[in-house]
Homo-oligomer: A and B are copies of this chain.
């Protein structure tokens, strides 16, 4: 859209002569490379030299902070409070819930020593004498340490429900990593609630699934399918796992959040009992639920394009960038004065705005920078605008530009931001609908999976059939959807009865 002879949009990538988006791999060419390039060039994150761990750079972290704030407000509005539990879990606790440890054992970072020392030959080494009696696991998730703590917090039905969330870093050792999507260390929130009855715990599980779905749709502008996981895809230690599933632009699915009904599994493993109203001791019922920095991957892959990042206005760190186009200092001063009331009017409406009158950078550099980094709206003001009482407004989602009257511009921009938020959601929804197909035969299924997207098909409910499909097509059952009605049919593979169609896709 913009072309300039000299611009250097990314601070830390030297030797640009064209705009950075021209150096971005096109999605059609290589989607995976496009994604990785974009994350790096838009200064969202990068690989660290520590195997599997990423650095979340300031622009990426500013988006994550917005995600955190919005989710945290939603958790608090549903009665939850935050707390903080230890990073380390003793090996013995971790082993108490059998299926839980089985699920996580292969990806645990283990602390075995607590001191370094200086060695005359080898330099700084781990002090072999400072070995821990019991090894500590760096938490991959906190059910075990939390339920070990809840044992002392819960005595009576009056202590229930206990509705606690934690924002934390967790570690799951990964051999092959991708920025935001799969990293050894990631940031997340994990809710851990305790209830007096099974019904209350089930209700909480679904309440938080709804919170996640609402957040995905209203903030991330990502339509999601809510559903149950099959037994083979359940969280290790859960009785039932629910999830929200989103579809990326390349037709692959991404699990964007999970909410688990844990039954009494952890209460039994950690002896968490309460006295009910009838004065009888019972095991407590549990849920846990989480979303992570993986959401950043979903956000990027849903909306961004070959020109760079596209951000929904509600999560954009800065919603409006204003760029003056001045030939000299005098003109710049005049534009400063012209723009000041616009900035104020936008801020008064709660719009975040950056007026970039740094004269060390050229307008072309700024246009390319703000476009590439996904600022939803860019306003340009030049001498002719001042003469005409106008400004030029560009929206990032459609790349359309238009000249508007400066009078009343704040209100118009506010509406434009809402329109962009809505447009991104509608576009993603349309894409998902275009890429969702119901099929009846396994042959049709294979063909549909090859094309990408969600495929709705009947399945006989067995692990064996699920495994066979996965092996033969690389498609997994994303979920058993909760909406759209359950019409019975016959399994596309075995012909055995099926209660309803389930959602298949290849997935991240």
A positions within 8 Å CB-CB of B:
11-12, 14, 46, 48-50, 53-58, 61-62, 64-65, 81-91, 93-95, 101-102, 105-118, 123-126, 135-138, 145, 148-149, 152-156, 158-159, 164, 168-169, 171, 173, 185, 187, 360
Given known pairs A61-B84, A84-B187, A88-B50, the reply for A110 and B105 (CB within 8 Å) is: no
For residue A107, which residues in chain B have a CB less than 8 angstroms away from its CB?
114-115
For residue A112, which residues in chain B have a CB less than 8 angstroms away from its CB?
110-113, 126
Given known pairs A123-B95, A185-B86, the reply for A105 and B109 (CB within 8 Å) is: no
For residue A155, which residues in chain B have a CB less than 8 angstroms away from its CB?
12, 14
Contact (Cβ within 8 A) A61 B48: no
Partner pick for A149 among B48, B111, B171, CB 8 A cutoff = B48
For residue A110, which residues in chain B have a CB less than 8 angstroms away from its CB?
111-116, 126
Contact (Cβ within 8 A) A101 B83: no
For residue A86, which residues in chain B have a CB less than 8 angstroms away from its CB?
48, 50, 53-55, 185
Distance A89 CA – B57 CA, assembled complex (angstroms): 18
Given known pairs A12-B153, A55-B84, the reply for A114 and B124 (CB within 8 Å) is: no
**How many Å from the CB of A143 to the closest CB on chain B?**
14
Contact (Cβ within 8 A) A85 B49: no
For residue A58, which residues in chain B have a CB less than 8 angstroms away from its CB?
81-83, 164
**How many Å from the CB of A66 to the closest CB on chain B?**
12
Contact (Cβ within 8 A) A101 B114: no
With CB as the reference atom, state the residue of chain B lying closest to A84: B56
Distance A149 CA – B58 CA, assembled complex (angstroms): 13
Distance A57 CA – B59 CA, assembled complex (angstroms): 32
Contact (Cβ within 8 A) A61 B49: no
Contact (Cβ within 8 A) B108 A12: no
Partner pick for A82 among B61, B84, B117, B169, CB 8 A cutoff = B61
Q: Across chains A and B, which 8 residue pairs bring their CB atoms closest together, nearest first? A: A53-B86, A58-B81, A95-B124, A105-B116, A56-B84, A110-B113, A114-B173, A50-B86
Distance A213 CA – B46 CA, assembled complex (angstroms): 35
Given contacts A12-B155, A58-B164, A110-B116, 11 further A-B contacts (CB under 8 A): A14-B155, A54-B86, A61-B81, A62-B81, A87-B169, A87-B185, A88-B109, A105-B117, A106-B116, A108-B115, A158-B360
Given known pairs A82-B61, A124-B94, the reply for A53 and B113 (CB within 8 Å) is: no
Given known pairs A65-B82, A94-B124, the reply for A159 and B12 (CB within 8 Å) is: yes
For residue A65, which residues in chain B have a CB less than 8 angstroms away from its CB?
82
For residue A360, which residues in chain B have a CB less than 8 angstroms away from its CB?
158
For residue A145, which residues in chain B have a CB less than 8 angstroms away from its CB?
48, 50
**How many Å from the CB of A192 to the closest CB on chain B?**
12
For residue A117, which residues in chain B have a CB less than 8 angstroms away from its CB?
105-106
Distance A54 CA – B164 CA, assembled complex (angstroms): 16
**How many Å from the CB of A286 to the closest CB on chain B?**
17
Partner pick for A115 among B84, B106, B111, B148, CB 8 A cutoff = B106
Contact (Cβ within 8 A) B101 A108: no
Contact (Cβ within 8 A) A57 B83: yes
**How many Å from the CB of A76 to the closest CB on chain B?**
10
Given known pairs A12-B152, A105-B115, A105-B118, the reply for A50 and B82 (CB within 8 Å) is: no
**How many Å from the CB of A271 to the closest CB on chain B?**
13
With CB as the reference atom, state the residue of chain B lying closest to A138: B111
For residue A111, which residues in chain B have a CB less than 8 angstroms away from its CB?
109-112, 138
Distance A53 CA – B49 CA, assembled complex (angstroms): 28
Contact (Cβ within 8 A) B124 A101: yes
**How many Å from the CB of A96 to the closest CB on chain B?**
10
